Amino acid sequence: MDLPRLGLGTMGIDDPAAIEMAIQLGYRHLDTAQIYDNEVVVGEGIERAAIDREELTVATKVWVDQLGADTVYESVEASLERLGLERVDLLYVHRPRGDYDPDGTLPTLAAAREDGLVGGVAVSNFEVDQLERFRDVMGRPPAANQVEYHPLFQPEDRLAHAREHGYPLVAYSPLSGGRVGDVAEVVTVAEKHGVSPAQASLAWLLAKGIYPIPKASSRDHLEANRAALDLELDEADVVRIDGVDREDELYPE
């Protein structure tokens, strides 16, 4: 899937004006979820921005209690109604647990795709064996896999799988929950380039071909995150942050 390189994570955003402002500043990938309880907010922000729908990639995620074969299609329709959209470009299985059953859930999501409600069926928080099961059932890799990925948590097996099979790896919590400023390797790279640790972290992910979706709602943070698109790290910078030996997973299964 041809995703914009940097997106907007919307967990915790409850004001449509923040979504509208992000779009006006150039964000074209918006990521929400049923469990965030803000699909209406994201939809209102899109409507206020009055942008050509085809310019946006809008993603949402089906929560674990709606993944049953007999409920997931209706759940997708409910998300679309809240968003005020006829389709979402990416529809994620939020986590492979709860009512998730690959033999029932995935074919129903494929039907939603065939019916035009969904552009691509994606997954979130999937391990490699679960990704392989997805391929077995669907006959193709997911449209994307969204995982926690930042300097303090680097699931390299998921990145390798995405690269091998040619789909995007989307990184949530790319700023380590605000902890990147305490990571010496990130600070060193940031100081070298005269940028913030947050920008260095985002640029590191971008250099690795990962698609970060940092959450931001203020103009300053939205603009600062976008500025990371213009920051080019060299191989030594990337290797330095790759080598962080601390591990702090924010959202363990």
CATH for 66: 3.20.20.100
pLDDT at 66 over 90: yes
CA distances from residue 53 to 21, 46, 87, 112, 215 in whole angstroms, order as listed: 16, 9, 10, 19, 21
Q: Is residue 14 one of the residues assigned to a domain?
A: yes
Q: Is residue 28 one of the residues assigned to a domain?
A: yes
Beta strands in the chain (DSSP E): 8-9, 29-31, 57-62, 88-93, 118-124, 145-148, 169-172, 211-212
With a pLDDT cut of 90, the percent of the chain lying above it is 98
Mean pLDDT, rounded, for 134-154: 98
Which residue is catalytic, options 27, 36, 100, 172?
36
Q: Is residue 15 one of the residues assigned to a domain?
A: yes
Q: Is residue 62 one of the residues assigned to a domain?
A: yes
pLDDT at 253 over 80: no
Q: Is residue 234 one of the residues assigned to a domain?
A: no
pLDDT digits (tens, 9 = 90+) for 114-127: 999 999 999 999 99
Mean pLDDT, rounded, for 58-77: 98
Q: Is residue 160 one of the residues assigned to a domain?
A: yes
Say how far apart CA 97 and CA 65 lie, in whole Å.
Answer: 9
The domain total for the chain is 1
Task: Write down the pTM of the prediction.
Answer: 0.97
Cα 107-2-133 angle, rounded to 5 deg: 30
Does the active-site annotation cover 27? Answer: no
The mean of the pLDDT values for the chain is 97
Please tell me the predicted confidence (pLDDT) of residue 106.
98
Please tell me the predicted confidence (pLDDT) of residue 1.
77
pLDDT at 175 over 90: yes
Range(s) of the domain holding residue 28: 8-177+211-217
Mean pLDDT, rounded, for 10-24: 98
pLDDT at 166 over 90: yes
**CA nearest neighbour of 151 among 249, 224, 84, 227:** 249
Please tell me the predicted confidence (pLDDT) of residue 2.
87
Please tell me the predicted confidence (pLDDT) of residue 4.
97
pLDDT digits (tens, 9 = 90+) for 78-105: 999 999 999 999 999 999 999 999 999 9
Q: Is residue 200 one of the residues assigned to a domain?
A: no
Three-class DSSP category at 217 = coil
